[in-house]
Amino acid sequence: MARLIENVAQLLLLLALAPLVTGVIRTLKARLQTRRGPGIFQPYRDLAKLFRKGMVIPETASWIFTAAPWVVFFSTLLAGLMIPMVAADAPLGLFGGVLAVIYLLGLGRFFLALSGLDTGGSFGGLGSSREMTISALAEPAMMLAIFTVAIGAGSTGLTEIAGSAIGQNWRFLAPAQMFAFAALALVLIAETGRIPVDNPDTHLELTMIHEAMILEYSGPYLALVEWAASIKQLVLMTLLINCFWPIGLQPTWFGFGALQGIGWLLAKLLLLSCAIVLLETVNAKLRLFRVPEMLAVAFTLGSLALVSTFLF
């Protein structure tokens, strides 16, 4: 029963918080570029509007096109329930650890890439091809960084990983942790489609990846895909901050601690958002064929992290 309440609470938190994070990043970015920006609640208004609208289904599309948004949405949510957000105890930790999180996100990506090719337009295929390429190249770096963390905790279970980090608030200064953090941060940028890998704000054909893949979606399905994308971003950000920087993470979900945990989570998310905004603003988008170099840097950082677990 307690487990069920935890799951429902985390589910609601994921659904509610994800658009806010996207909104905050957008507004902060606008302010840094001396624009006013649409306000942090704009993503909620966008979603609400999209859910009320009708939609156009391409005449060339098959059932894959309608199934994909659901697969993406559910697999992202399931991944979100397997990570520690407020408390170290991941609500759905029994069903899978960090490997399941990565592979569930992979399942969503697989179906989204299929849907991009399903419409028969050139843009969808372009987006699918690039998305699968970049995510494949990001994978080894991500795995090395995660192995470093998992080896430290002796488990791939996120409950155990976060639990072993509690109380060691300055552990992130250890070389292995810093290297692994840097590697994962680069992977996070690639996976969430942020500058310098992809530009979430543009629909310019030469530069886009994720937006090209979902070009044919409209109405409620577009809302599902966008919502899933922001939940994925939240999941990866939370994974990053709670594994490396456990400050304020509660042992369990219950009592007054939960409120405190949510407070800390919001504060840490805000800080990471600021970092992302800064990174996006001072960098230009990379050419597609320069992205592998960035991911190679991430892989090297991951290897360094691994080596430094027993050198230092």
Partner 1 sequence: MIGELFLSGIVVWLAGAAASLALWRRPARARRVACGTALAGSLLDLAASAAAISGRSPALIDLPFGNSIFSWSIRIDPLSAYFNLTLCVLAAAVSVYSFGYLKEMEGRRNLGAFGFFFNLLLLSLALVFTASNAFFFLVAWEVMALSSYFLISFEHEKEKTRNAGMLFLIMSHAGTGLLLIAFLVLASASGSLEFSSFHLLASSLTPLRQGFVFLLFLFGFGVKAGLVPLHIWLPDAHPVAPSNVSALMSGIVIKTGIYGMARVFFDFYGAPPMWMGTVVLGLGVASALLGVLYALMAHDLKRLLAWHSIENIGIILMGFGAALMFRSLGQANLAALALIAALYHTLNHAIFKGLLFLGAGSVVQATHTRNMEKMGGLIRRMPVTALCFLVGAVAISGLPPLNGFVSEWLTYQALLAGFGTTQSLTRLMFPIAGSLLALTAALAAACFVKAFAIPFLALPRSEEAAEAREASNPMLAGMAVLAVGCVALGFGATWFVRVFDPITQQALGVRASLALVTAHGWALSPGTAHGGTISTAGIALLFLIGGAAFALPLALRWKRRSVIGPVWDCGLPGLTADNEYTATAFSKPLRMIFSALYRPRREIQAEYEVSPHYPSAIRFESEIERTFEKRLYGPLRDRIMAAANRMKGIQAGSINIYLAYIFITLILLLLFGVRG
- Residue from the set 37, 38, 140, 257 that interacts with partner 1 by CB under 8 A: 140
Give 24's contacts (C-beta < 8 A, 6+ positions apart): 40, 270, 273
In the window 174-213, what residues touch partner 1 (CB under 8 A)?
none
- Strand partners of residue 87: 250
Residue 297 binds to partner 1 (criterion: CB under 8 A): no
Residue 59 binds to partner 1 (criterion: CB under 8 A): yes
Measured CA distances, 284 to 118, 187, 288 (Å): 32, 17, 12
- Residue from the set 83, 114, 195, 208 that interacts with partner 1 by CB under 8 A: 114
Whole-angstrom Cα distance, residue 271 to residue 261? 15
Residue 257 binds to partner 1 (criterion: CB under 8 A): no
Alpha helix segments (H runs only) across 154-290: 158-165, 175-191, 210-213, 219-244, 256-282
Whole-angstrom Cα distance, residue 156 to residue 121? 40
- Residue from the set 94, 204, 267, 271 that interacts with partner 1 by CB under 8 A: 94
- Strand partners of residue 250: 87
Closest to partner 1 by CB, 185 vs 305, is 305
Q: How many residues bind partner 1 (CB under 8 A)?
A: 83
Closest to partner 1 by CB, 37 vs 292, is 292
Residue 155 binds to partner 1 (criterion: CB under 8 A): yes
The 264-293 contact track toward partner 1, x by CB under 8 A, reads ------------------------xx--x-
Tokens of 283: 């960098």
| Residue range at the interface with partner 1 (CB under 8 A); choices 42-50, 130-138, 166-174, 253-261 | 130-138
List the end-to-end C-alpha distance of the chain, in Å, as a whole number.
44
Closest to partner 1 by CB, 25 vs 222, is 222
| Residue range at the interface with partner 1 (CB under 8 A); choices 13-21, 34-42, 67-75, 275-283 | 67-75
